[in-house]
Amino acid sequence: MTSVIDLYEKLSTAPDDKTRARIIAEAFEALEERYPNLSDVATRQDLRESELRLTKEIEQVRADLTREIEQVRADLTKEIEQVRTDLSKEIEQVRADLSKEIEQVRADLTKEVEQVRADLTREVEQLRAELSLEIEQTRREQKETELRLTKEIEKVRLELQKEIDQVRLEVKAVEVRLTQAIHRQTLWVIGSIGAIIALIRLLEWFLSHLPG
């Protein structure tokens, strides 16, 4: 079939009848070499008939090849469409599966997030309750400490007040004793001065009455 196509291409590209005749003669020579019993000499008319026959055969081969190519193209087109359809179905199936998996993962994550939120909420509430108890305990202890300190301060104040009052009494007693001592000292000093003055006057009197 390839030789026939090559012969057709040579004949279709031949510039004139002489060249075509030579090509046909070479083809017959090749046939004689392949088929030694072929001994008849082809005339010009025979060559023309052979050319026409070969041309028809070539056209038939071309038509057959064209049909085969069209058939192959049609088959390939069908196969491509089938593959495209199958791939589209597979893609849609994969997309559906992935969508289901994504939704499942989203649902699982949502549940986990809700669980974590619930756990954290419980922990926060527990911590808030514990802190509230600690704060109340601290407040009670603070109030108790304030009351105890207030009582101690009041007790110290009363004790200091007693001590101050006692000191005041002692100071007053000292003042009284000092006053009395000063009064006695003053009387003693006055008495002493009076005695001295009396002695001086007595001496003056004795001196004035002594004989001259």
The Cα 159–Cα 154 span in angstroms is 8
> Do residues 98 and 90 lie in contact, with contact meaning Cβ atoms separated by under 8 Å?
no
The Cα 193–Cα 91 span in angstroms is 142
The Cα 76–Cα 70 span in angstroms is 10
Write out the chain's pLDDT in tens, 212 residues.
446 677 777 777 777 777 877 877 777 777 667 666 555 444 556 667 777 777 787 778 778 778 888 888 888 888 888 888 888 888 888 888 888 889 898 888 888 888 988 889 888 889 888 988 889 898 888 888 888 898 889 988 888 888 888 888 888 888 888 888 888 888 888 888 888 888 888 887 777 776 65
**Residues contacting 4, CB < 8 A, separation 6+:** 54, 57, 58, 61
Residue 41 DSSP class: P
SS3 of residue 43 by DSSP: coil
Is the pTM higher than 0.75?
A: no
Q: Which helix (H) or strand (E) holds 174?
A: helix 44-209
